Structure 1
């Protein structure tokens, strides 16, 4: 089961005088992640590197930001994958301490910084949602709204024409049972476009 994070968590690690300021946080998509990285670059203008990894909505990314290829972004991404995280951005701001760590030392430092931040983070089960539409006569609109409310579905839109079209999203595992309950209550008068 995939997980996300309840809130952002930061952790600082010092390795041979270099500071690694790690942060893991929930993000919805790549544009949001890029905005966070841009804010970090602005907040830490003297940092040597702002490396990051993203797992969000099938969009994964690993950016080394000047570190030797495969020593920062990829190890951070592997930590996110190992924890089965989705919708999470991992960033590490590195202040160079004057001592070169080598490829192995960099991989360990970036991996440890993210792993330690995740160690104190609160993981939340990720519930995938799906969007559905239901078309019913006006007399059944109230019943459908009640069924949606009981299933914790989010009503996205309602169109009143010859019939009523209700568009909603619901947790995937609840989608089929919800359709069955609406069909049973509507006695065959519900249409699923």
Structure 2
């Protein structure tokens, strides 16, 4: 289901290991979209300007969204860095996450298999220290109501965990609600039924 909550990073993580004199510094962060992911990658390039490689992988949406993926080998042999890093992220089932592994070359070549293991294990090491939180997919509803219906309306909002994003107390009460998308259609129906059709909540789709 597109509306199913998923976990996202709660705080950044930096984790480091040394393999045959090369330093691998794995950095994880919450990045809600591809633009944020690319900005994080560039920030790490600036933060570690003297490193040989800044390899990356990101999931810029829900964990199972195949349209929101990206990776880069940044000079390492094709398929030895970004792709195995992405595979580890996908296996973790975490959304809206970017991993950058910064490598300071130590003079000893690791070989194709060694690079795959080094980059994959670096991301795994960082993931072991990552804290996560649940992201609930929310929808928005627009409505207006007479004051006489507000007690009933506020009760329904509380029951469904919905709340006002903005509200105007004028001649009538009007505003925008935020609600868990899994409960949106039920709440729309309940509002209409409980107020005998006097209050209609309309989904905002933009």
Question: Which bin holds the TM-score, normalised by the shorter protein?
Answer: 0.7 to 0.9
Tell me, yes or no, if the aligned pair for 2:191 and 2:201 is still in contact at 8 Å. no
Question: How many aligned positions are there?
Answer: 193
Deviation at 1:112, TM superposition (A): 0.4
Structure 1 equivalent of residue 184 of structure 2: 175
**Alignment of 1:127 onto 2:136:** yes
Tell me, yes or no, if the aligned pair for 2:167 and 2:174 is still in contact at 8 Å. yes
Structure 2 equivalent of residue 45 of structure 1: 49
Q: Which moved more, 1:51-60 or 1:168-177?
A: 168-177
Give the CA RMSD over aligned residues: 2.5
TM-score by length of 1: 0.85
What whole-Å deviation, never above 9, does each CA across 1:6-50 have from its counterpart, x for those lacking one?
A: 211221011111111001221211121222112111111100111
Distance 1:16 1:192 in 2: 62
Q: Which moved more, 1:162-171 or 1:85-94?
A: 162-171
Structure 1 equivalent of residue 119 of structure 2: 110
Distance 1:98 1:165 in 2: 66
Q: Which moved more, 1:100-109 or 1:123-132?
A: 123-132
Structure 2 equivalent of residue 88 of structure 1: 97
TM-score by length of 2: 0.80
Distance 2:148 2:99 in 1: 50
Q: Secondary structure at the match of 2:193?
A: helix
Q: Secondary structure at the match of 1:46?
A: coil
Unaligned runs of at least 5 residues, structure 2? none
